[in-house]
Amino acid sequence: MTAQDPAGATPSHAIREQIRSDVELGRTEEVVTRFPPEPNGHLHIGHALSICLNFGMAAEFSGRCNLRFDDTNPLREDQAYIDAIQRDVAWLGFSWSGEARYASDYFEQLYAWAQHLIDTGHAYVDDLSAEDIRAWRGTLTEPGRDSPWRNRSADESLALFRRMRDGDFPDGARVLRARIDMASGNINLRDPVLYRILHAEHPRTGRRWCIYPTYDFAHGQSDAIEGVSHSLCTLEFADHRPLYDWLLEHLPVPSRPRQYEFAKLALSHTILSKRRLTRLVEDGHVQDWDDPRLATLSGLRRRGVPPAALREFVSRLAVSRNEGVVDIAMFEHVLRDTLNRSAERRMAVLRPLKVVIESFEEGRTDWLEAANHPADPDAGTRQVPFSREVWIERDDFMEDPPRRFHRLAPGREVRLRYGYLITCTEVVRDASGNVTELRCRHDPASRGGTAPDGRKVRGTIHWVSAAHAVDAEVRLYGPLVTTATPGATGDFVDDLDRASLEILRGCKLEPVLAGASGPVPVQFERLGYFSIDPDSAPGAPVYNQTVSLRDSWAKDRAKS
Ligand code: ATP
Ligand code: MG
């Protein structure tokens, strides 16, 4: 995976070219792909690449794409994951062909095919333990050794295989192996295990089975049953392809799928492996699978990332066999770009400082018109209340500002966006000298923000009327890990940034935000993009920062 120029056009790739030529030369009648998650965790942004590729190729060539759960290991799988994965794929914007499918739907057929392999001399029941099988398999430089059971008769293997299914043996007592080549240069061909005994409850088949096919035995055959034409998978399966083909050649399968590989997406400053994500959740380093700091699809959704931004990001990646790390800044760039176009603008003050406009009548409310999107007149306008007391951002005031500070300071004039020009006349302090309030006067003729005499006012700041403000909690997020490749030197958990979540309470929102619902992000002017969190209660909204306006942390990181 290598990143394209973020502004570049959608790159083509070898998989698309392969499919195109298969279609053009008549080798493929219908393009059928599948997305095959194992329901043992939640989907993450890496899976989004696989999803967009599989569904995208099917759509592009007027074919279909299945969703198939690779549920062959009952020890780690769960119905909750199955439900969450379906939710996530649908949220990303894809609909699979027909019902969701399951490798476990094919257990009976797979069992029959295993018997066929035994019958034809291509498989045998082995009594070696798992450790012995591993030890006897050899290494890259040494051939493997034949199991003493390798030449067992087909009849004996068939009878034992039957008894394995009937539950006559404990876990690990025997396995079914393909009889291929113990001296093969490809270790996957050294009599790979096809079935193992596992007395475990399966989320779908319950206790019906106590033997389960391996990934290798289930995957290609499931593809063949579904008529998959192009089985797209990540590079770690390239060495399994000879076995994938061998099994299809030795079985009376109804179709001949082919496997093609591409490199996994790796993102800097991001944890993607399911094993690591599971640890983060189980050890309480994050709140849950949908913690907005995680790159799980549910976390990204909760953070406010629109599915369109994910699809756009993925489409700008070069699908290839090159393993590289994509800079998270590229994702954020695409995210900002998408949100800049789609998000409506609102005003919110995150770290409030009270401003009393002494020249403005007490009790009066002025309703001002504000554009919902500066570049999109169709987005319309809204009315924003203005009154004698407003909140501004603490950062937008400095008592002793440097020359280039164009915001509020004693004696200086600033524009309240869509409102009035105000000048700071007095600074109020508490007993310990902290600024608690500013006193200002306004120019009544500057309603809307322009001075009647054309005088220049350089600074424009956002504000919220104190009498109308809605109090909110706002959660700011930094990257969860401090290093580009977490765990590169040691345990990845040591690279977690304990300050990656900052919770601000008593933030002030303009009143239209009181009724906001749904995860559609808005831009808080001058601050960033924010999206309402499901923790919100009526009258007590909670917002998540989706992404800041400027690329501040990427810059910081470049410096360090
Ligand atoms: P992980 O490596 O994160 O534990 P996995 O590969 O075990 O994930 P699966 O449920 O087996 O997860 O993945 C379903 C599909 O998604 C597979 O085809 C897999 O190759 C693909 N996939 C997984 N991770 C990535 C990634 N980072 N980039 C692209 N595709 C991925
Ligand atoms: Mg996997």
Residue whose CA lies nearest to ligand 1 atom number 18: 233
Q: Cα–Cα distances in Å, from 433 out to 209, 392, 407, 430?
A: 74, 19, 21, 5
Q: What is the DSSP secondary structure assignment for residue 396, as one 8-state letter?
A: G
Q: What is the DSSP secondary structure assignment for residue 103, as one 8-state letter?
A: G
Q: Which atom of ligand 1 is found nearest the CA of 40?
A: 10
Listed in sequence order, the residues at least 6 apart from 474 whose beta carbon sits closer than 8 Å to its beta carbon are: 348, 350, 503, 504, 507, 530, 542, 543, 544, 545
Q: How much is the pLDDT for 535? A: 95
Q: What is the DSSP secondary structure assignment for residue 495, as one 8-state letter?
A: G
| Beta bridge partner(s), residue 502 | 476
From first to last of the 560 residues of the chain, give the pLDDT tens digit.
Answer: 444 444 455 678 999 999 999 999 999 999 999 999 999 999 999 999 999 999 999 999 999 999 999 999 999 999 999 999 999 999 999 999 999 999 999 999 999 999 999 999 999 999 999 999 999 999 999 999 999 999 999 999 999 999 999 999 999 999 999 999 999 999 999 999 999 999 999 999 999 999 999 999 999 999 999 999 999 999 999 999 999 999 999 999 999 999 999 999 999 999 999 999 999 999 999 999 999 999 999 999 999 999 999 999 999 987 888 888 999 999 999 999 999 999 999 999 999 999 999 999 999 999 999 999 999 999 999 999 999 999 999 999 999 999 889 999 999 999 999 999 999 999 999 999 999 999 999 999 999 999 889 899 989 999 999 999 999 999 999 999 989 999 888 899 999 998 999 999 999 999 999 877 777 899 999 999 999 999 999 889 999 999 999 854 345 545 54
Q: How close is the Cα of 249 to the center of ligand 2, in Å?
A: 24
Residue whose CA lies nearest to ligand 1 atom number 15: 37
Best residue among 52, 264, 276 to mutate for probing ligand 1, ranked by most atoms within 8 Å of CB: 264
Residue whose CA lies nearest to ligand 1 atom number 23: 47
Q: How much is the pLDDT for 324? A: 84
Q: How close is the Cα of 304 to the center of ligand 1, in Å?
A: 23
Cβ neighbours of 50 (radius 10 Å): 22
* Residue reference for tokens 């965790």: 41
Q: How close is the Cα of 32 to the center of ligand 2, in Å?
A: 20
> With a threshold of 0.85, does the pTM exceed it?
yes
Q: How much is the pLDDT for 558? A: 55
What is the spatial distance between Cα 50 and Cα 263, in angstroms, rounded to a whole number?
10
Best residue among 34, 234, 267 to mutate for probing ligand 1, ranked by most atoms within 8 Å of CB: 234
Q: Are 542 and 533 in contact (CB under 8 A)?
A: yes
Residue whose CA lies nearest to ligand 1 atom number 16: 47
Q: How close is the Cα of 42 to the center of ligand 1, in Å?
A: 10
User: For ligand 1, which residues put their CB under 6 angstroms from it?
Assistant: 36-38, 46-47, 49-50, 233-234, 264-265, 272-275
